[in-house]
Structure 1
Amino acid sequence: MTEILSLQNITFTYDLEQPEVKNAVEDVSFSVEQGEWIAIVGHNGSGKSTIAKIMNGLLFPQEGTVEIFGMPMNEENLWSIRSQLGMVFQNPDNQFVGATVQDDVAFALENNGVPYEDMVSRVEQALEQVKMSGFMNHEPQHLSGGQKQRVAIAGALALRPKLLILDEATSMLDPQGRQEVLDTVRTLREETGLTVLSITHDLEEAILADRLLFMNQGEKFAEGKPSEIFALGEQLIALGLDLPFSMKMAHLLMQEGVSLEGTHMSERELVEDLWISNFKK
């Protein structure tokens, strides 16, 4: 597999004049391979947002190196790197600039000088990918939260990025909207091999990732598969990260004497385990 993102020994502080203040990010290293879905999780103040800004070139670390798509992240390469990144942010209402859905998806393409015929094709394809083709002429403000974020994803996909970054992209959505967005990203990844990096505190989003990075007080506390990270259990709770509902429910059931096996990372896994272990004859 091809490595498309590498952060090596990154350290960043917001106030160099106060050395006694703890660094926002302290000696963090990780990489992302092409086609992976990586989730960065942690409580508020853990360093997630700072890492997002470093990956997008909004901040440059005082120590360490950042390499994206084989290029060092610096002022010389910044715009070339950004042209290959797709970003979807927290509040969908803050992302719209067009009068209609198709205008909004086309906005970044126009800014990048994409020819009109190619732009039309890309807009149609991107909206089809997120199942929003029927809303091309709708006004964005009349869409639901989940639909707005799907349009925001379409705007990112129209640029044909090598890496899609979701920066708390589901945090302001209701459960239905959140599920719409996660289903969209999961389908896109399965169909196109899109590389995804999500910065999130949403456990249902984190569970979908191939690998989790758990941040705590600016440092990388743990890295591994979702099942490996959530197996830390009480350690995560003590550091401000909750466990998936299905895992907490499984724990309560076992305390009551119900026989269960497996990791129970999802409600479906828990239901299937209950059926196999206790009801299936």
Structure 2
Amino acid sequence: MTDEILSFNNVTFSYTPDDVKVRNAVEDVTFSINKGEWIAIVGHNGSGKSTIAKLMSGLLFPQQGEIRIKRDVLTEENIWDIRAQMGMVFQNPDNQFVGATVQDDVAFSLENNGVPHEEMVQRVKEALQQVKMEGYINHEPHHLSGGQKQRVAIAGALAMKPQILILDEATSMLDPQGREEVLTIVQALREEIGLTVLAITHDLEEAMLADRIIFMNEGKKYAQGTPSEIFALGEALVKFGLDLPFAMKMTNLLQAHGIQLVGKHMTEEELVNDLWTSNFNK
């Protein structure tokens, strides 16, 4: 039996519900997430990804359908209890900081929720240790790198002990090093504490880390499956405004020039290994 932690059931939302000529931002979307899973929601700008994030956090409510968190229907009455089970990290880390130091920032939500001082100090310490930022506890946030800022933002979310961590384009403004720092930390947290991760992204390289991918297009769920199943759509992804992973594009290019390769490759390591075994180890 699966341990379902979040589900959308035939959810529809429109920013202009009375205008039948305007398409819905999200239309009849159904999916579920189980405890401990990493799910990526991908799609081009305007596909409905960010609206889904707002719906699941209760910033918006469906006009049709329902959203359940651990089988409880999300309503205006229980929204604060539901939000306490979610940690969110957004696109721009600079927009998330409210404290003068890293310690103050991680403690901010705990203070707002009335967590006792001694427990708050311990939670801040543990959260910073989890993201490998304990050495920066008294640093000013604006002196940190982009990757470090997002790690502190993740610590702020973890300090609340959420059931699910939502990354809303959380790596899109980072350089490659910062992006790798954040994704490595999230992967480690998932393995260490069984954290459920929902990553909303347009980056298919990042989506490859997920157990399952939900592919959105024009507010509708176009496809859902494992990374291999979604990337098998190939040019359909490009058609809908997404870029294929580098290894897949290189594989297509090499095959077009007559180089024999076995199937498609999602990672550079797979491509290099195939090149070696198929063409240089005969």
Task: Indicate the TM-score class for this superposition, using the shorter chain for normalisation.
Answer: over 0.9
Please report how far the alpha carbon of residue 183 of structure 1 lies from its aligned counterpart in structure 2 after TM superposition.
Answer: 0.7
Structure 2 Cα separation of the partners of residues 195 and 242 of structure 1:
26
Structure 1 Cα separation of the partners of residues 115 and 55 of structure 2:
27
Structure 2 Cα separation of the partners of residues 70 and 186 of structure 1:
26
Structure 2 Cα separation of the partners of residues 119 and 262 of structure 1:
52
RMSD: 1.0
1:5 paired with 2:6, answer yes
Partner of 2:154: 153
Partner of 1:143: 144
1:56 paired with 2:37, answer no
Structure 2 Cα separation of the partners of residues 113 and 12 of structure 1:
34
Please report how far the alpha carbon of residue 262 of structure 1 lies from its aligned counterpart in structure 2 after TM superposition.
Answer: 4.2
Partner of 1:121: 122
SS of structure 1 residue aligned to 2:16: coil
Deviations 1:178-235 (A, max 9, x none): 1111111111111111000010011221010000000000000000001110110111
Structure 1 Cα separation of the partners of residues 157 and 187 of structure 2:
15
Please report how far the alpha carbon of residue 278 of structure 1 lies from its aligned counterpart in structure 2 after TM superposition.
Answer: 2.0
Partner of 1:254: 255
Structure 2 Cα separation of the partners of residues 154 and 22 of structure 1:
38
Correspondences of 1:41-120 after superposition (within 5 Å): 41-120=42-121
Correspondences of 1:207-222 after superposition (within 5 Å): 207-222=208-223
Deviations 1:81-106 (A, max 9, x none): 00010000010000001111111111
Structure 1 Cα separation of the partners of residues 258 and 191 of structure 2:
39
SS of structure 2 residue aligned to 1:208: coil
Partner of 1:239: 240
1:215–1:222 CA contact under 8 A, matched in 2: yes
**Scaled by the length of structure 2, what TM-score is found?**
0.97
Identity percentage of aligned residues: 71
Partner of 1:192: 193
Farther-moved stretch of structure 1 (25-34 vs 250-259): 250-259
Please report how far the alpha carbon of residue 154 of structure 1 lies from its aligned counterpart in structure 2 after TM superposition.
Answer: 0.5
Partner of 1:276: 277
SS of structure 1 residue aligned to 2:230: helix
SS of structure 2 residue aligned to 1:205: helix
1:170–1:202 CA contact under 8 A, matched in 2: no
1:177 paired with 2:186, answer no
Please report how far the alpha carbon of residue 71 of structure 1 lies from its aligned counterpart in structure 2 after TM superposition.
Answer: 1.1
Partner of 1:225: 226
Partner of 1:134: 135
Structure 1 Cα separation of the partners of residues 173 and 164 of structure 2:
22
Pair 1:263–1:121, CA change in 2 (3 A):
farther
1:102–1:123 CA contact under 8 A, matched in 2: yes
Please report how far the alpha carbon of residue 70 of structure 1 lies from its aligned counterpart in structure 2 after TM superposition.
Answer: 2.2
Please report how far the alpha carbon of residue 277 of structure 1 lies from its aligned counterpart in structure 2 after TM superposition.
Answer: 1.8
Deviations 1:156-186 (A, max 9, x none): 0111100000001011111111111111111
Structure 2 Cα separation of the partners of residues 149 and 141 of structure 1:
12
Structure 1 Cα separation of the partners of residues 262 and 14 of structure 2:
44
1:28–1:220 CA contact under 8 A, matched in 2: yes
What is the number of residues matched between the two proteins? 281
Which structure 1 residue ranges, 5 or more long, are not aligned? Answer: none
**Paired residue type of 2:281:** K
Which structure 2 residue ranges, 5 or more long, are not aligned? Answer: none
SS of structure 2 residue aligned to 1:240: coil
Structure 2 Cα separation of the partners of residues 139 and 215 of structure 1:
38
SS of structure 1 residue aligned to 2:33: strand
Structure 2 Cα separation of the partners of residues 56 and 118 of structure 1:
26
1:122–1:158 CA contact under 8 A, matched in 2: yes
**Paired residue type of 2:140:** E
1:164–1:197 CA contact under 8 A, matched in 2: yes
1:37 paired with 2:38, answer yes
